[in-house]
Structure 1
Amino acid sequence: MNAPRRPSRRGSLTGSIVLLTTAVAAVAVVLTGLFAWRVIRTNAENQEREQLSRQAEVLARTPPLASWILDRQERIAGADDIQLALVRPSGTVDGPAAATVEDKGRRTLLSGKTLSTTARLDGREVLVEGAPTPTGGGLVLTQPMSAVDQATDRMRGSLVLPLGLGLTGAALAGALLARRLARPLVSAARTAHRLSEGERGLTVPAEGPAEVAELAGALNTLDAALTHSEDRQREFLLSVSHEIRTPLTTVRGYAEALADEVVTGDEVPEAGRILRGEIERLERFVGDLLALARLEADDFRLDTDEVDLDALVAEAAQAWSARCSRLDVDFRVERPARPLPVITDGFRVRQLVDGLAENALRVTPAGKPLVLAVRADGPGALLEVRDGGPGLTDDDIAVAFERGALTDRYRGVRPVGSGLGLAIAHRLTTRLGGTITASGRAPEGGARFTVRLPSHPMAPYTPRTLP
């Protein structure tokens, strides 16, 4: 024997959300760090240039101070290793940083413009900033690029902490979000498992985001629907057991009487008629149950063709006129007396008409009318069965097509059948692509059932379970 397969292990939603938010934050941190890494270098260089340029402008405004520094061959600020070059009005360049002033730079300063460039001095790369002097020359200051590197390192070092805090904060936010999402989902999943195990009357708190709250609402609605459906099924089974038990009890009683020779002689034919009637009653009930089951099946077959509903109703009227006459019921037929073609299954339409007529005849008293009508309804057709019986209340109409609803309500009050006839009519009409409605008061005083059939073949039917 093969060992039972175990369900594949999957990570939790909480872990997935935390991992996802952390990964997104990590990518954001890396991209931000790479961008900032380059920008910091540029900003550090700009800051050093700006500071060096301001110093050059100050010295350029005081040529005697610049000349004194030049004569002493001193650096401006020893720690920063800033060196000076002086461009005289004649174009000569003097000072420790003279090697950084090229012809282009000298012409720029002599024309009264500032100088900002990069050069090499004593084998090192340096920043070069120059400003024109009031006497017509210019003053140039240089600073090693190592100062920019030091400033860059300081600024990049200060970037690590906020990036780390951002990554940690994203992970914490992901954990909080995951907890907020996962907790109601776990609660909903537990409720769904309990519903599958048969528990009812459960409530899922509608908390969390709108989608999660909608899921909770759907489960609560499902719980209510399952409860209602199971209650109706339980009532239906009780009704079925009652319908079957009564004729079975009668059949068993007469069978025992015949076996014990309690019924003899002239009483035997009467007992046989009673037994046959009860058996026929059982057959009708079982037949209704089978018909209802077939209508719920996915492979229920329909043979569609062009059907003349006027001719179909005329044929049905002949059969029902005779049955109504035996019960002294005034049968009437209303039809256009001209072809009324629709694309449908004629056998199933006749089955539908017979079922509604059977239901109407059961409750129609002697002397009252029963009407079978057909007429055009736009591109399709409309069938009606009306009776002169007690009719239906608004509450009756609301449950008329539920299995056994009217039978349970009126058992012992008026003649009732198996309780499946109207449920079968509803499903059969749906299979035919039409609609069926009930009205409590027809012109004849009783109930009216109206079936609207389309003129063309039906779309595929999706079975559903009625309460």
Structure 2
Amino acid sequence: MSTVDGRGSLTRSIVLLTSAVAAVAVLLTGLFAWRTIRTNAEAQERDQLSRQAEVLARTPPLASWMLDRQQRIAGPEDIKLAIVRPSGEIDGPAAVAVDAASREALLAGDSVSTTARLDGDDVLLEGAPTLVGGGLVLTQPMGAVDQATNRMRGSLVLPLILGLTGAALAGALLARRLARPLVTAARTAHRLSEGARGVTVPAEGPAEVAELAGALNTLDTALTHSENRQRDFLLSVSHEIRTPLTTARGYAEALADEVITGEEVPEAGRILRTEIERLEHFVGDLLALARLEADDFRLDIVEVDLDALVTETATAWSARCARHEVDFRVERPERPVLITTDGFRVRQLLDGLAENALRVTPTGRPVVLALRPDGTGALLEVRDGGPGLTDDDIEVAFVRGALTDRYRGVRPVGSGLGLAIAHRLAGRLGGTITARGGAPEGGAWFTVRLPPYPGAPYTPLTDS
């Protein structure tokens, strides 16, 4: 498997990690077993020696006969015998290993298990009381314990090696199982970054890896949806720009070729100005939307009297509505409504909503600008007497270009960016904006809820 930026691959890292963990576990187990084996070996030798002492203690004549003939009991030649007589006298080859405490214990009828010195060496000493009083003692050099220990330790090496090897193999299998879906996910991510779409990652492996695969699949779907919307939006933008450009170019060529002369020139100039204003408005909306998405978007937060701001807005829009024979109304508390916000951006937001309302409102129908206090904040409303919004319209009302594409040729439409700008402005101000279709005036109903200060940090809105 390849490496990235000089870093080791995941497979090798997992194999090394599992092998290291296994090695530590094996070493700790081996160290513990190594020390325990010595204790177990000594316990086994003592147990065997103790059983032999008890057997001989039950047959004192046999033990005495062996002692009188200075013979050793059956078994290893290094096992030696001593007899503690009822009188306290100690006889036998192992007599010097029996100390006073062991002798007193045997005379009292108790068994003895200890370590002693005999002929300059450490020995195991096991004693058992006899039926007639006194006791019988057997000793065995510690060398027998060392030999048993070495045999048991030798048999431990192979299992430890097999355990370490098995751990390394298990680590390799685990690494392969984990790395394979991750590599597949990484390749898919690279393909997505290169522009490929419609690629899927199989949801295999552990739950976390499967979750990563699911996230990449979701990302692929989201990218496809977003790029389709962007493509549609660009097509819409090109259409919006091409129409006034074509008109302006046609009139410019007619003027240049002197096809339009005399009294027709002022009318041609008016049309050219109108088309250029359309282009300026559209480009201005695009720039405004781009600024709203910028991280360094500026807000001048001060204390603002929304009642005075609404009055100022109403003055400007009542004149514009009058020119279009639209009934403009304002609803306000006629007392200061003070909140901390950016007054310029609030006015920009209201202007955008009012322009959208005026565009679709027929002659003689109303446009309403309303202000109501709302706790520590305020509610701003723009309602109109136009055709309104359906439930499907409300779902995409703030998606750039959605309503323009839907109603082009059916009702008056703008650049398709006004409501998207309003939505982003409301978010920048820490507020929210909602759309409804059943205004009291019969048309659309937009409500902006403004807090007294920008609340949560702004999160750029998506097109979904």
Indicate the residue corresponding to 1:359 in structure 2: 356
- Counterpart among 323, 326, 330 of residue 327 in structure 2: 330
- Is the 1:80–1:143 contact (alpha carbons within 8 Å) kept by the matching residues of 2? no
Pairwise CA distance, 1:376: 0.8
Write the mapping of 1:3-402 to structure 2, written as runs, cut at 5 A: 8-402=5-399
Pairwise CA distance, 1:401: 0.8
| Runs (4+) off by over 4 Å | none
CA distance in 2, matches of 1:7, 1:65: 82
2:45 maps to a residue whose letter is E
Write the mapping of 1:380-459 to structure 2, written as runs, cut at 5 A: 380-459=377-456
Unaligned ranges ≥5, structure 1 = 1-5
CA distance in 1, matches of 2:296, 2:320: 34
CA change 1:336–1:80 in 2 (3 A) is farther
- Listed one character per residue, the Cα deviations across residues 367-399 of structure 1 (whole Å, up to 9, x for unaligned) are 111111110112100001011111111111111
Greater CA drift, 453-462 or 413-422: 453-462
CA distance in 2, matches of 1:281, 1:367: 25
- Listed one character per residue, the Cα deviations across residues 342-382 of structure 1 (whole Å, up to 9, x for unaligned) are 10011110010000000011000111111111101121000
- Listed one character per residue, the Cα deviations across residues 314-343 of structure 1 (whole Å, up to 9, x for unaligned) are 111111111111111111111111111110
- Is the 2:199–2:217 contact (alpha carbons within 8 Å) kept by the matching residues of 1? yes
CA distance in 1, matches of 2:4, 2:36: 51
1:149 maps to a residue whose letter is D
1:250 maps to a residue whose letter is T
1:247 maps to a residue whose letter is P
2:434 maps to a residue whose letter is T
Pairwise CA distance, 1:63: 0.7
- Is the 1:80–1:147 contact (alpha carbons within 8 Å) kept by the matching residues of 2? no
Pairwise CA distance, 1:461: 2.5
CA distance in 2, matches of 1:15, 1:410: 60
- Listed one character per residue, the Cα deviations across residues 218-253 of structure 1 (whole Å, up to 9, x for unaligned) are 111111111111111111111111011000111111
Greater CA drift, 145-154 or 242-251: 145-154
CA distance in 2, matches of 1:439, 1:360: 13
- Listed one character per residue, the Cα deviations across residues 129-178 of structure 1 (whole Å, up to 9, x for unaligned) are 00111111110011111111111111111111221121111111111111
CA distance in 1, matches of 2:329, 2:24: 82
Q: TM-score, normalised by structure 1?
A: 0.97
CA change 1:356–1:338 in 2 (3 A) is same
CA distance in 2, matches of 1:108, 1:459: 86
Aligned pair count?
462
- Is the 1:298–1:463 contact (alpha carbons within 8 Å) kept by the matching residues of 2? no
Pairwise CA distance, 1:464: 4.7
CA change 1:220–1:359 in 2 (3 A) is same
- Is the 2:57–2:129 contact (alpha carbons within 8 Å) kept by the matching residues of 1? yes
Q: Does the residue aligned with 1:333 lie in a helix, a strand or coil?
A: strand
Pairwise CA distance, 1:120: 2.0
- Is the 2:429–2:453 contact (alpha carbons within 8 Å) kept by the matching residues of 1? no
Q: Does the residue aligned with 1:183 lie in a helix, a strand or coil?
A: helix
Q: Does the residue aligned with 1:262 lie in a helix, a strand or coil?
A: coil
- Listed one character per residue, the Cα deviations across residues 425-444 of structure 1 (whole Å, up to 9, x for unaligned) are 01111111100111122111
Pairwise CA distance, 1:294: 0.9
2:259 maps to a residue whose letter is V
Unaligned ranges ≥5, structure 2 = none
CA distance in 2, matches of 1:78, 1:305: 105
CA distance in 1, matches of 2:60, 2:128: 11
Indicate the residue corresponding to 1:3 in structure 2: none
Pairwise CA distance, 1:307: 0.7
- Is the 1:295–1:427 contact (alpha carbons within 8 Å) kept by the matching residues of 2? yes
Pairwise CA distance, 1:78: 4.4
Q: Give percent identity, aligned residues only.
A: 82
CA distance in 2, matches of 1:457, 1:398: 25
Q: TM-score, normalised by structure 2?
A: 0.97
Q: Does the residue aligned with 1:371 lie in a helix, a strand or coil?
A: strand
2:194 maps to a residue whose letter is E
CA distance in 2, matches of 1:457, 1:416: 32
- Is the 2:431–2:454 contact (alpha carbons within 8 Å) kept by the matching residues of 1? no
Measured on the aligned residues, the alpha-carbon RMSD in Å equals 1.3
- Is the 1:362–1:415 contact (alpha carbons within 8 Å) kept by the matching residues of 2? yes
CA distance in 1, matches of 2:4, 2:102: 77
Pairwise CA distance, 1:81: 2.0
Pairwise CA distance, 1:458: 3.8
CA change 1:278–1:81 in 2 (3 A) is same
